[in-house]
Homo-oligomer: A and B are copies of this chain.
Amino acid sequence: MSRVLVRQLKNHLGQSVVVKGWIAKVRDLGGIKFILLRDLSGLVQVVVESETACELKTEAAVCVEGAVAEAPNVIGGVEIHARSLAVVSQADYELLPFEVNRDTIPAGLDTVLNHRMLSLRNERVRAVFKIQHQIVSAFREFFSANHFTEIQTPKLVASGTEGGTELFAVEYFNRKAYLAQSPQLYKQMMVGSGLERVYEVGHAYRAELHDTVRHMNEYVSLDVEMGFIEDENDLMAIETEFLKSLFSRLRQQCGEALALFGAELPVIDAVPRLELEEARRILLRRYEKQSPPGNLDPEGERLISDHVKKEAGSDFVFITKYPVAKRPFYAMPDKQKSELTNSFDLLYRGLEITTGGQRIHSYQALKENIARFGLNPESFGYYLDCFKYGMPPHGGFAIGLERLTMKILGLANIREATLLPRDRARLEP
């Protein structure tokens, strides 16, 4: 008899089925036991009237054969009357590190992360990653449908994208390699290759000393790059369309999971755009908030998001036109004001989740700009060469997957949105 998933049981009323999963709870009333069984799809009550030889310990893995019966008052509306129950993998502990079957795990984040497998047995914790799976799927499907090709670019690189700081060094045979901070230069090359529109879901590495709730040293970057754009407005437009399709998918597919977090999904129409200078003026005028030169700091990001939420009802805001001095060498200068760039950040509920912009596409202009930034054009040989062969006007952006997940669910720490986070203190599990 082949296995039926718990969520499908209501299609098998009156039939004999096999279910497999973990023991979430046992109530032993002497002659009769009520077991709450958990599988990848949900929870079901199993009623065992016969004697069971083996010990029924919480979190043991079991296989149950029995009949599916209606049971209006229990979870899922059905229960299983067991004919047989076998423990296929016994639980081999004296005391669990924490209780799993509560709304939230009664332990600190470090303990939760150390026992990552066990903490994921908790429904709410597991839901984070089921939703994250849907976010990644939405990303791929949206961009594939819009003629983008998915690429995988190397994470072992010969030098840093933006000048060599904050890189992890790797012993690569008899030389040094580095872990890629982003697929920036490669995704630009792939636009020029004629693939023209590309995306990547891949790891990015930053050897930063940060110890904050919004930074990690390894994270997943959802990267997009497209050719033949007019300017950065095309990029903001397509990111907005992606966000609409993402939230529509999450509404359809993740209602129950989102409810565990009380998460309210934003309704997106147009995303407001504010030039950085204007944002800084608003912060000063309305909040007496001083910002660092040519940028916003985390407090500024929160305040300007609050402001936009109040004024325009939007959870998102694009901050545009960052100065040349605050952007990398490949950022396209603004046509009118050459000290500004055609770049943007996207803030979501007070947190930057995207950096993007138009890139320089002229060989000469790029070469000059590399030198202007104090870098050596010769060390960009293969990259720079690409611009000799008709590199079209192009640009792109990157979305931090864990940050996006974190803000959608209202999590307090980015590590909660990461299966197995890496930071200065954590390399395990």
Contacts and interface: CB of A to CB of B under 8 A. Distances in A.
A116 B390 contact: no
Contact of A152 (B120, B175, B203, B381): B203
Contact of A170 (B38, B129, B153, B170): B170
Interface stretch (A71-79, A102-110, A192-200, A346-354): A192-200
Given A156-B427, A382-B428, A120 B190 contact: yes
Interface residues of A, number: 101
Contact of A91 (B90, B133, B147, B389): B389
Q: How many copies does the complex hold?
A: 2
Interface string A130-145: 1001001100100010
B196 A117 contact: no
Contacts of A140: 137, 140
Given A137-B150, A201-B201, A386-B118, A168 B168 contact: no
Interface string A196-230: 11000111010100000000011010000001100
A165 to B, nearest CB: 14
Interface stretch (A264-272, A273-281, A358-366): A358-366
A92 B388 contact: yes
Contacts of A220: 152
Nearest to A428: B158
Q: Which of A121, A150, A175, A205: most chain B CB closer than 10 A?
A: A150
B419 A190 contact: yes
Nearest to A151: B419
A299 interface: no
Interface in A35-55: 38-41
Q: Which of A116, A195, A228, A364: most chain B CB closer than 10 A?
A: A228
A117 B383 CA distance: 9
Main secondary structure of the interface of A (DSSP, over half): mixed
Interface in A369-428: 381-383, 385-393, 401, 419-422, 424, 427-428
Contacts of A207: 173
Given A117-B389, A179-B170, A363 B5 contact: no
Contacts of A89: 361-362, 390-393
A129 B149 CA distance: 8
A298 interface: no
B386 A153 contact: no
A246 interface: no
Given A155-B203, A172-B427, A364-B92, A136 B114 contact: no
Given A171-B168, A195-B40, A389 B147 contact: no
Given A59-B389, A137-B150, 13 more contacts: A89-B390, A96-B389, A116-B193, A116-B382, A120-B190, A140-B140, A152-B401, A155-B218, A156-B217, A156-B427, A168-B172, A170-B171, A186-B420
